[in-house]
Amino acid sequence: MTPYILHCIFLHLPQQVFLLAQRVCHTWHDVISSSKVLQATLVIPRASKERVFRCIF
């Protein structure tokens, strides 16, 4: 399967699948790691400052 076809397939899969798919083979890992679009879906958004809670003991 060509990297382009894999990329198109990966675009339709949930984020959890990417994490597992990277471990399947070198080709899949290379396709996911070289795609900025796929990498952007793996990035966990940072919490805004309003949502950060501090515990004081």
Scan for tokens 């515990």, then name that residue. 55
19: amino acid identity, one letter: L
In a domain, 23, yes or no: yes
Q: Give the pLDDT confidence of 1-57 residue by residue, as tens digits.
A: 788 999 999 889 888 887 888 899 999 899 988 988 888 887 766 656 555 556 665
Q: What's the total number of domains in the chain? A: 1
In a domain, 53, yes or no: no
12 CB-contact burial (10 Å; exposed 0-12 / middle 13-18 / buried 19+): exposed
Angle at 40 between CA 29 and CA 22, to 5 degrees: 15
In a domain, 39, yes or no: yes
In a domain, 56, yes or no: no
Q: Give the pLDDT confidence of 40-51 residue by residue, as tens digits.
A: 887 766 656 555
Owning domain of residue 13: 3-45
Q: Name the percent of the chain in helix, strand, coil, to the closest 5.
A: 60, 0, 40
In a domain, 17, yes or no: yes
Sign of CA dihedral 20, 21, 23, 29: negative
